[in-house]
Amino acid sequence: MPKRAFVLINVGSGKAKDLSVSMARREVLPAIGKIDGVILAQVVTGPYEIIAVVEADGLTEIGDIVTLKIAKIPGIDRWTVCVGIEQAVGCQDSNLLPARSNG
Protein backbone atom coordinates (compact mmCIF):
# COMPACT_ATOMS: atom_id res chain seq x y z
CA MET A 1 0.00 0.00 0.00
CA PRO A 2 1.44 3.39 -0.96
CA LYS A 3 2.33 6.00 1.64
CA ARG A 4 0.56 9.36 1.57
CA ALA A 5 1.67 12.80 2.72
CA PHE A 6 0.03 16.21 2.78
CA VAL A 7 2.31 19.08 1.80
CA LEU A 8 1.25 22.48 3.18
CA ILE A 9 2.76 25.21 1.01
CA ASN A 10 3.34 28.94 1.47
CA VAL A 11 3.94 31.00 -1.65
CA GLY A 12 5.69 34.36 -2.04
CA SER A 13 7.39 35.55 1.13
CA GLY A 14 6.73 39.09 2.28
CA LYS A 15 3.91 39.77 -0.18
CA ALA A 16 0.33 40.66 0.56
CA LYS A 17 -1.91 37.62 0.92
CA ASP A 18 -3.85 38.56 -2.24
CA LEU A 19 -0.66 38.51 -4.32
CA SER A 20 0.45 35.19 -2.82
CA VAL A 21 -2.84 33.50 -3.66
CA SER A 22 -2.79 34.96 -7.17
CA MET A 23 0.78 33.73 -7.71
CA ALA A 24 -0.19 30.31 -6.32
CA ARG A 25 -3.03 29.95 -8.79
CA ARG A 26 -1.20 31.30 -11.80
CA GLU A 27 2.26 29.77 -11.50
CA VAL A 28 2.90 27.38 -8.64
CA LEU A 29 -0.23 25.22 -8.73
CA PRO A 30 0.18 24.14 -12.39
CA ALA A 31 3.85 23.28 -11.75
CA ILE A 32 2.96 21.12 -8.74
CA GLY A 33 0.22 19.37 -10.72
CA LYS A 34 2.78 18.15 -13.29
CA ILE A 35 4.88 16.27 -10.74
CA ASP A 36 4.63 12.47 -10.71
CA GLY A 37 3.38 11.31 -7.33
CA VAL A 38 1.19 14.36 -6.71
CA ILE A 39 -2.38 13.06 -6.76
CA LEU A 40 -4.06 16.33 -5.78
CA ALA A 41 -2.99 19.96 -5.52
CA GLN A 42 -5.38 22.71 -4.53
CA VAL A 43 -5.31 26.41 -3.61
CA VAL A 44 -6.88 26.77 -0.16
CA THR A 45 -7.87 29.39 2.38
CA GLY A 46 -6.13 29.71 5.73
CA PRO A 47 -2.47 29.93 6.70
CA TYR A 48 -1.26 28.08 3.56
CA GLU A 49 -1.87 28.91 -0.09
CA ILE A 50 -1.67 25.36 -1.49
CA ILE A 51 -2.09 21.85 -0.16
CA ALA A 52 -0.70 18.97 -2.22
CA VAL A 53 -1.34 15.27 -1.62
CA VAL A 54 1.63 13.08 -2.50
CA GLU A 55 1.66 9.29 -2.81
CA ALA A 56 4.68 7.02 -3.22
CA ASP A 57 5.86 3.53 -2.29
CA GLY A 58 7.74 4.75 0.77
CA LEU A 59 8.70 7.71 2.91
CA THR A 60 12.06 8.12 1.18
CA GLU A 61 10.29 8.52 -2.17
CA ILE A 62 7.86 11.03 -0.67
CA GLY A 63 10.82 12.97 0.75
CA ASP A 64 12.46 13.00 -2.67
CA ILE A 65 9.28 14.29 -4.36
CA VAL A 66 8.97 17.08 -1.81
CA THR A 67 12.60 18.16 -1.51
CA LEU A 68 13.83 17.54 -5.06
CA LYS A 69 10.73 18.56 -7.01
CA ILE A 70 8.10 20.54 -5.10
CA ALA A 71 10.52 22.64 -3.02
CA LYS A 72 12.48 23.62 -6.15
CA ILE A 73 9.48 25.33 -7.80
CA PRO A 74 10.08 29.10 -8.03
CA GLY A 75 7.71 31.03 -5.77
CA ILE A 76 7.49 28.46 -2.99
CA ASP A 77 8.61 30.11 0.22
CA ARG A 78 8.03 27.42 2.87
CA TRP A 79 6.48 24.01 3.12
CA THR A 80 5.51 21.55 5.81
CA VAL A 81 4.96 17.81 5.33
CA CYS A 82 2.35 15.88 7.28
CA VAL A 83 2.63 12.11 6.72
CA GLY A 84 -0.64 10.20 6.73
CA ILE A 85 -0.68 7.52 9.40
CA GLU A 86 -4.22 6.25 9.73
CA GLN A 87 -7.27 6.61 7.51
CA ALA A 88 -10.88 6.66 8.70
CA VAL A 89 -13.02 3.65 7.90
CA GLY A 90 -15.11 4.30 4.82
CA CYS A 91 -12.79 6.84 3.18
CA GLN A 92 -12.05 5.91 -0.38
CA ASP A 93 -9.28 7.09 -2.67
CA SER A 94 -11.88 7.67 -5.39
CA ASN A 95 -12.97 10.78 -3.46
CA LEU A 96 -9.69 12.49 -4.40
CA LEU A 97 -9.57 14.22 -7.76
CA PRO A 98 -6.39 13.99 -9.83
CA ALA A 99 -4.04 16.98 -9.76
CA ARG A 100 -4.00 17.16 -13.55
CA SER A 101 -6.72 16.55 -16.10
CA ASN A 102 -6.39 14.29 -19.11
CA GLY A 103 -8.42 16.47 -21.38
Instruction: Report the predicted TM-score, pTM, of the whole model to 2 decimal places.
Output: 0.79
Per-residue pLDDT at 72 exceeds 90 = yes
Q: Where are the domains of the chain?
A: 3-86
CATH number for the segment(s) 3-86: 3.30.70.920
26-60: pLDDT as tens digits? 889 999 999 999 999 999 988 998 999 999 999 99
Per-residue pLDDT at 91 exceeds 90 = no
Rounded to 5°, angle at Cα 15 from 12 and 46: 75
User: Distance between CA 35 and CA 72 in Å, rounded?
Assistant: 12
